Amino acid sequence: MKLGPYAVTPEAPLSVLLNAADAWRIGLFGVPRAPAGTPPEIARGALRRNAGAVLNAGEGHFWFMWVSDFGKSLRGAWGTLGADYLGGQIDRMTRESARLGYVPSCFHRFHGFDMPWPRGDSLPWLVFAHGERLRRTGRAPDAETRTILQNLFDVYEATHFENGMISSEITGDWADTVRRPSSTYNNLCALMALREAPVLGLKTRGSAEALSKRIVADRWRGDHFRDHAATEALSADSAVLSLYLGLFDRAILEKAADRVFAEKLDRPWPIRCAAAPHDGATVPLLTRLVSGYHRAAWLHLGAMWLNGLKRLGRDVAPGRARLDGLIERHGHILEAVNDDGSPYKSWVLSSERGLTMAAAQYLELVEGA
């Protein structure tokens, strides 16, 4: 069932209640500190506490596993959680997706589901996870798994693409309080998946080369990507993901990085998710209760940004120092912070703590991956 754009599942009201309870708790008592330690120790502790039957996205109120969060965590989580545990999570998501016939956005110990709505980045991050396991362990998908992935990829291409790019009907992605038609982020995730597919023995209708050219022609504006199909606004997360995955040639990546610096999106904390408020047409009515959520500085995006800069050979020491300062200040790995460094919160939602993808991206930055 749907209520407006929102998917109504049993998990949805539970998530709302958990968010609201945590918002009030943090408002009254502040963020509870994790066990004392250095920032890397705090990050590793968060990952271990979140590693249950599924790898929870956080330890305050995100008691589910999002596929994209998991994928963004992999490079930094191997050393802490190990190949057996992470590989088991990849297999769990793959089997459940086969049962459902598509890759949902979320999982708990019993089944997969969409929340708050279907997203366009789930299949790409599952494919990425299989590719990372192959690179880390040498374990390629067996024949049964490859057949499952091929079927899932076929469904994804059939339902998500229109005229060579992600359809404007696809509006959900990681920024899950905003509905961005054919977001550039989703198109970059598709490009990532098309590049991973041949490595895993998968056949695709589209080609990575063709999609790369289409993205540059349609979304690149000389020094930045536009955010989605219906806007010319600058896209922050597209610059970050492009750098993190090295999706384009160095000239584009350097210009994208320079524009982020020019817009001061990395200040005061790495990194603010948007340079300006989102178009009201992309923000559903209920989402307006937390309208600043995806304009705050998100630590996982900041660490991804720094990992991407590091691969460009840029100096990441100042950015890392700011992340270290936030972790030491709060005694935790937060999800999103305001300009003054306080955790983002409203009366119905608060910044998560012990955010898995932020902890893992931070560990990737400080430990290498």
Amino acid 123: pLDDT: 98
Tell me the CATH number at 347: 1.50.10.10
Q: What are the φ/ψ torsions at residue 103 (nearest 5 degrees)?
A: -95, 110
Q: How many angstroms separate the most distant Cα atoms in the chain?
A: 53
Q: How far is CA 360 from CA 39, 115, 342, in A?
A: 12, 22, 21
CA–CA separation, 272 and 108 (whole Å): 29
Q: Which domain holds residue 286?
A: 2-273+281-367
CA–CA separation, 245 and 263 (whole Å): 22
Report the helix count and the strand count for the chain, using DSSP H and E: 12, 9
Contact status, residue 342 vs residue 296, Cβ threshold 8 Å? no
Amino acid 10: pLDDT: 84
Instruction: Report the number of distinct structural domains present in the chain.
Output: 1
Q: How far is CA 178 from CA 23, 80, 214, 358, in A?
A: 20, 32, 24, 20
Closest CA to 165 of 236, 228, 233: 228
Amino acid 288: pLDDT: 65
Amino acid 1: pLDDT: 58
Sign of CA dihedral 354, 358, 363, 369: positive
- State the residue for tokens 């597919």: 197
| Beta-bridge mates of residue 234 | 226
pTM above threshold 0.85: yes
Three-state secondary structure call for residue 66: strand
Amino acid 56: pLDDT: 98
Closest CA to 291 of 299, 280, 307: 280
Amino acid 278: pLDDT: 78
* Number of residues written out for the chain: 369
Per-residue pLDDT of the chain (369 residues; tens, 9 = 90+): 566 666 778 888 888 788 888 888 888 888 899 998 999 999 999 999 999 999 999 999 999 999 999 999 999 999 999 999 999 999 999 999 999 999 999 999 999 999 888 899 999 999 999 999 999 999 999 999 999 999 999 999 999 999 999 999 999 999 888 899 999 999 999 999 999 999 999 999 999 999 999 999 999 999 999 999 999 999 999 999 999 999 999 999 999 999 999 999 999 999 998 888 878 778 766 666 666 787 889 999 999 999 999 999 999 999 999 999 999 999 999 999 999 999 988 777 789 999 999 999 999 999 986
CA–CA separation, 234 and 236 (whole Å): 6
Three-state secondary structure call for residue 257: helix
Closest CA to 326 of 247, 369, 269: 269
